[in-house]
Chains A and B, each alone.
Chain A
Amino acid sequence: MAVKFDRRSFLKVVGGASLGALVGGGGKAQGYPPPPMTHQHPQAQQVLQRALAAHPQGYTFFNSAEAAFMEAVVARLIPSDALGPGGLEAGCAYFIDQQLNSMYGHGGRWYMQGPWEPGQPEQGYQLPLKPREIYRLGIAATNRYCARTYSRTFDRLSAQQKDTVLKGLEEGSVELGDLPARTFFNMMLSDTMKGYFADPAYGGNRGKVGWRLVGFPGVAAAYVGFIEQWGKPYEVDPVSIPDLLGGQAQVDEHGHPIHRPVARR
């Protein structure tokens, strides 16, 4: 699977100054040391998994009620079952909390000048609300709906009741006042999926469970020697950005991980 570059010609393109970053072996310039390869020992692997599972988590945007609401939501959107851990175990609620304190949560790269009009569906999002405001309003409004309908907040409903409420939000049949229920639901769904499948560096996809579910290897290796092996499964232990930055995965001479085969499912 190793890729052969003509090293001299390669350097001409990328420039001599970048030598350390591109060719492995002592390439500390890039910010990650040569791989110690500890992960290859099963015991060390278990330690690593426990470490990941114990990733420190503190909600910095959601208050306690909001956090309870979101933990309940992500557990229903991606349930834990025989196929593996779900959105709750993957840390999706925490991921969303962190995102709402980031550029995304503030709508930092959205055009947010008025005047405001609802417009046509073809014209896309036209609310003056940032994602963090949508969550704050949406969670409160949904909990009010649940209190009216079931006399308790969303997180304390039965699984079936939770699914009924979520379906109502998805279809727009649950009224949230000024906030369109579908907008709130679609944002929660999209953000939960981001949390389940994004690099674990962002606080979700803990233990790379999302990647393991579908068989995505994470940070890509050089696949040039494998891509024409039609139908041959590529079953490897996925590799994340923190794995590589922390020296927990072996890399080839150009900084791509060398994926470790694993028996999956």
Chain B
Amino acid sequence: MATELKPADVVLVGVGWTGGILAKELAQAGLKVVGLERGEPRDTNPDFQPPRIHDELRYAVYHELMQDLSRETISFRNNLQQRALPMRQQGSFLLGEGVGGSGVHWNGVTWRFLPWDFRALSATLERYGRGILPEDATVQDWGVTYEELEPYYDRFEYTCGIGGKAGNLKGQVQPGGNPFEGPRSREYPNPPMKVTRAMELFRRATAGLGFHPFVQPSANMTRPYTNPDGVQLNPCVYCGFCERFGCEVAAKSSPQVTVLPVAAKTGNFELRTHCNVVRVNLSPDKKRAVSVTYVDLRTGLEYVQPAELICLTSYVFNNVKLMLLSGIGQPYDPVKNEGVVGRNYAYQGFTNAGVFFDDKIMNSFMGAGALGMSIDDFNGDNFDHSSLGFIGGANIAVYQTGARPILSRPVPPGTPRWGPQWKQATARYYNRFFNIGAQGGVLSYRGHYLDLDPTYKDAYGLPLLRLTFDWGPNEIKASQYLAGVLRRIVEALKPSKSNVSPLPERYGIVTYQSTHNTGGAVMGADPKTSAVNRYLQSWDVPNVFVVGASAFPQNAGYNPTGTVGALAYWAADAIKNRYLKNPGPLVS
């Protein structure tokens, strides 16, 4: 039988960015915090040291730092009529585990969402009317505004030492930054990253078209940096082994080099690794969480950890899965259109253009995770959609993350996949190519959701989480439009060969696209359409907070971590300044 442990003030389920931020904030506030992490401990030294960390096969192809799917995965289908089958191999997105979570092996692109994103429904109704939205779209406002989150974005950016150039300081548009962004209270803590040839070509081409290019914000340090917690980070060396790898020189902001050491120093934070939480235990009236049950993966034994406050701080899928397994909130039913847990799952749709040059080398093996040049002219509501028939858009960027040759060997369209012609094209174009990606936002729809699979089980005998998702009409239309924008940029670049790829008709789980999954436990002002309130507190079980991209009501055209970090600080403040004074629902 399960062993019951001594109660803690707070239990965090998952120790990545959100768990790390809450650990620091709550431990500094004097609470006894236990962080339960199912994966392994890992740190700059010795785990990420060269030369072994520069092993593309181990880390990028075999996903060394990510989740072992033999234990647990999700199942997937495109629609309610299909039978979901397990995702047997990592593909479209990369599920993670381990201390630091995806914050260890992320790229570091750190955006703020647009003020428009947080009131996507109201703003759309005001400007275009309901008719522009697909009938079954369930897009909604967040229940929190950009202005309210601004100080929390600022805290995350200063914690991480983000390098960038403000485009809007207190309402004044600044040269060199993103003129479309919401107003910032101050400049980025560090200057922007260096500019590569591909970035410069993109800058010239897009500026020539009248667009507004800028170096995108990055959590790869651009100079030595000491953050407000006294943590020191080193400058990035542009080694090109960032995404899917840990950083060897502590130049990429990650939980294990920023918030976690600070949490540990308080003496109030206990990190337990190899502990997989399988259930949140509720009081008989289901109005209060009393403990979590976890399996220690080193022994297989079960433990019960009681706590006053329980924060779900794992990835989107596990936050939702634990809510469903524990009976926190009403499960969503797309047929009856009732319930909230699992509702409004969304993702991102990439429209891509590849450009091949015969006369220009790019040194594309050099790079950094968040190194890139962007335009935001076609994101959010930064352009007029009146005659377009869709809302939202994409950030369009050239990224130079480092082209490693097992996975990055572009050849022009029509080239055979093997044999002498393939070899010739690979030798010619490996270093004479770059990709332009349009990172498209995705709406939520009535039929896109998460629930428990009726057939397939994980290693603990629990049902897999089931994902039902496809591209919606808004995304297909947006992608066609964005492909047109990309064609104009490609033309201006004058490559010798190119290809533009809009979204395919159906979403597939096989090819890597992005690990920007969102929703399922969305925040909002109405308990009928949201699982958590504006402070990320469960409407039904007020001593449970569910923190992460699971709270996004739909997804924006940006990398999500900046917003995830801001929401974690926002929730931490709500817990410290409101909840602790009067434990109970923060919104009635």
Contact = CB atoms under 8 A, between A and B. Distances in A.
A81 B46 contact: no
B234 interface: yes
A174 to B, nearest CB: 16
12 contacts: A9-B224, A12-B232, A13-B44, A81-B420, A81-B423, A110-B89, A119-B83, A124-B89, A125-B89, A193-B409, A199-B57, A213-B423
Interface in A69-103: 76-79, 81, 83, 86, 103
Nearest to B61: A194
B197 to A, nearest CB: 4
A141 interface: no
A122 interface: yes
B418 A112 contact: no
Interface of A: 3, 5-6, 9-10, 12-15, 18, 21-22, 30, 32, 76-79, 81, 83, 86, 103-104, 107-113, 115, 117, 119-126, 163, 166, 170, 189, 192-194, 197-199, 201-202, 210-211, 213-224, 226-228, 230-234, 239-241, 244-245, 254-257
Contacts of A126: 85, 88
What is the size category of the interface that chain B forms with chain A? 35 or more
B433 to A, nearest CB: 11
A162 B163 CA distance: 54
Contact of A122 (B237, B418, B507): B507
Given A5-B235, A10-B232, A230-B197, 9 more contacts: A3-B235, A9-B224, A21-B49, A32-B51, A77-B418, A124-B508, A126-B85, A220-B239, A255-B49
Nearest to A249: B51
A216 B404 contact: yes
A112 B507 contact: no
Interface of B: 44-46, 49-52, 54-57, 61-63, 68-70, 72-73, 76-78, 82-89, 91, 194-197, 200, 224, 226, 231-241, 248-250, 257, 360-361, 363, 365-367, 402-406, 409, 417-420, 422-424, 426-427, 430-431, 455-457, 506-510
Decide if the interface of chain A is mainly helix, strand, loop or mixed.
Answer: loop
Contact of A199 (B56, B84, B88, B365): B56
Contacts, number: 233
B426 A111 contact: no
Contacts of B55: 199, 201, 241
Contact of A109 (B44, B52, B62, B250): B62
B43 to A, nearest CB: 8
A75 to B, nearest CB: 11
A256 B89 CA distance: 33
Contacts of B417: 170, 189
B419 A125 contact: no
A245 B238 contact: no
Nearest to A73: B418
A125 B78 contact: no
Contacts of B77: 123
Given A14-B250, A224-B235, A198 B57 contact: yes
Contact of B239 (A9, A120, A231, A256): A256
Contacts of A9: 224, 226, 232, 234
B423 A83 contact: yes
B349 to A, nearest CB: 14
B239 A222 contact: yes
A239 B239 CA distance: 13
Nearest to A265: B427
B405 A211 contact: yes
A31 B320 CA distance: 43
Contacts of B257: 13
Contacts of A257: 50-51
B356 to A, nearest CB: 14
Contact of A234 (B78, B87, B224, B363): B363
Instruction: For the complex of A and B, list the 5 residue pairs with the smallest distance between their C-beta atoms, beginning with the closest.
Output: A18-B45, A222-B237, A122-B508, A220-B239, A214-B430
Nearest to B236: A224
B196 A120 contact: no
Given A13-B250, A123-B76, A255-B51, A197 B405 contact: yes
B109 to A, nearest CB: 18
Contacts of B234: 5, 9-10, 13
B45 A122 contact: no
B51 A124 contact: no
Most chain-A Cβ atoms within 10 A of its Cβ — which of B88, B365, B430?
Answer: B88
A130 B434 CA distance: 35
A227 B406 contact: no
Contacts of B402: 220
B282 to A, nearest CB: 29
Given A13-B234, A123-B77, A21 B423 contact: no
